[in-house]
Amino acid sequence: MLTKRVIPCLDVRGGRVTKGVKFKNNIDLGDPVEMAVRYSEGGADELVFYDITASAEGRPIDIAMVEAVARAVRIPFAVGGGVSSLADMERVILAGAEKVSVNSLAVRNPQIIVEGAREFGAQCVVLGMDPVKSERKPSGYEITTRGCRDFTGMDAVEWARRAAELGAGEIVVNSVDADGTRNGFELAITRLVADAVGVPVVASGGAGVPVHLVDAFKASHADAAIVAGMVHTGDYSIADIKRTLQEAGLPVRMSW
């Protein structure tokens, strides 16, 4: 049985890690490389970095940061934000990231998923999606882009299914409604996506206590879960989370 992955997420803006609630009111938390090392040595299975304003500001991702993280950590990591072309994806991978997350770009140009999977392998291409609740959509959720600035009119489950068919090797379901609330993951949309696609699905947005990850793995069928505020503030460590998962009978990596 594959182990369940615990993945700290570092939202980066202006070279610093930041955290907000529902994509707003961000506060500064520290240096991304220093935090990456702490999580790498503390038992994280992977890391994910989002340059959260790159797409909205129309600028490329901070490649120097990607290179610095690659030199400093011993675990896989993914990078997203500011990726606007296949060439950008190549730069991120050559800088040391194992995966590239595409979100707004994939909505604008779904063919980038096909091209990325063909060029680098499906395992390198992650679809990031930011769904919000919407009664107008069959699944009950609509896809947003550019940090929830734009509403696309796309149904979340339909988009996840299409992206997997195009070649996305993993899908991160980041609930805008739950983001930063620390009240638990949005289990409904995570399970809808997990049940609709044949690739790994990552729950994201809302983790506040370790049992929230138990819920994500057992109730929503997620393969991995992203954590941010609950570990950035020091309220819980990765080890705390993994002990809770192990006690709940979930397979996790306990040596590092």
Q: What are the tens digits of pLDDT across the range 163-172? A: 999 999 999 9
Q: What are the tens digits of pLDDT across the range 185-219? A: 999 999 999 999 999 999 999 999 999 999 999 99
Please indicate, yes or no, if residue 105 is contained in any of the structural domains. yes
Question: Which pLDDT value is given to residue 21?
Answer: 57
Question: Which pLDDT value is given to residue 29?
Answer: 76
Amino acid at site 178: A
Select which of 62, 88, 130, 215 is catalytic.
130
Please indicate, yes or no, if residue 99 is contained in any of the structural domains. yes
Among residues 99, 102, 89, which one has the least CA distance to residue 69? 99
Please indicate, yes or no, if residue 253 is contained in any of the structural domains. no
Report how many domains make up the chain: 1
Please indicate, yes or no, if residue 166 is contained in any of the structural domains. yes
What average pLDDT does this structure show over 63-88? 94
Residue 240 has pLDDT above 90, yes or no: yes
Tokens representing residue 202 in the block: 């990552």
Residue 242 has pLDDT above 60, yes or no: yes
Question: Which pLDDT value is given to residue 61?
Answer: 83
Please indicate, yes or no, if residue 11 is contained in any of the structural domains. yes
| CA distance linking residue 109 with residue 111, whole number of Å | 5
Q: Are 114 and 167 in contact (CB under 8 A)?
A: yes
The percent of the chain in helix, strand and coil, each rounded to the nearest 5, is: 40, 25, 35
Question: Which pLDDT value is given to residue 192?
Answer: 98
Residue 20 has pLDDT above 70, yes or no: no
Please indicate, yes or no, if residue 254 is contained in any of the structural domains. no
Please, which pLDDT band fits residue 181 given cuts at 50, 70 and 90? Answer: confident
In sequence order, what are the residues at sequence separation of 6 or more whose Cβ sits closer than 8 angstroms to the Cβ of residue 125? 89, 99, 100, 102, 113, 116, 117, 167, 168, 169, 170
Backbone angles phi, psi at 232, to 5 degrees: -60, -35
Q: What are the tens digits of pLDDT across the range 108-151? A: 999 999 999 999 999 999 999 999 999 999 999 999 987 677 89
Long-range contacts of 134-141 (CB under 8 A, 24+ apart): 139/189, 139/192, 140/188, 140/189, 141/189, 141/192
DSSP state of 217: H
CATH of the domain at 154: 3.20.20.70
Question: Which pLDDT value is given to residue 25?
Answer: 53
Amino acid at site 236: Y
Please indicate, yes or no, if residue 19 is contained in any of the structural domains. yes
What average pLDDT does this structure show over 89-109? 96
Question: Which pLDDT value is given to residue 26?
Answer: 67
- Of the two residues 146 and 156, the one the predictor is more confident about is 156
Residue 238 has pLDDT above 90, yes or no: yes
| CA distance linking residue 217 with residue 112, whole number of Å | 30
Active site residue 130: yes
Residue 161 has pLDDT above 60, yes or no: yes
Please, which pLDDT band fits residue 28 given cuts at 50, 70 and 90? Answer: confident
Select which of 11, 45, 62, 179 is catalytic.
11
Instruction: Give the whole-number percent of the chain exceeding pLDDT 70.
Output: 95
Going by DSSP bridges, is the β-strand pair 47-51/77-80 parallel, antiparallel, or unpaired?
parallel
Active site residue 179: no
Please indicate, yes or no, if residue 252 is contained in any of the structural domains. no
Range of the domain at 41: 5-247
Tokens representing residue 152 in the block: 């696309």
| CA distance linking residue 220 with residue 207, whole number of Å | 14
E strands of the chain, at which residues? Answer: 5-13, 16-21, 24-30, 47-51, 77-80, 99-102, 125-133, 141-145, 150-155, 170-174, 201-204, 224-227
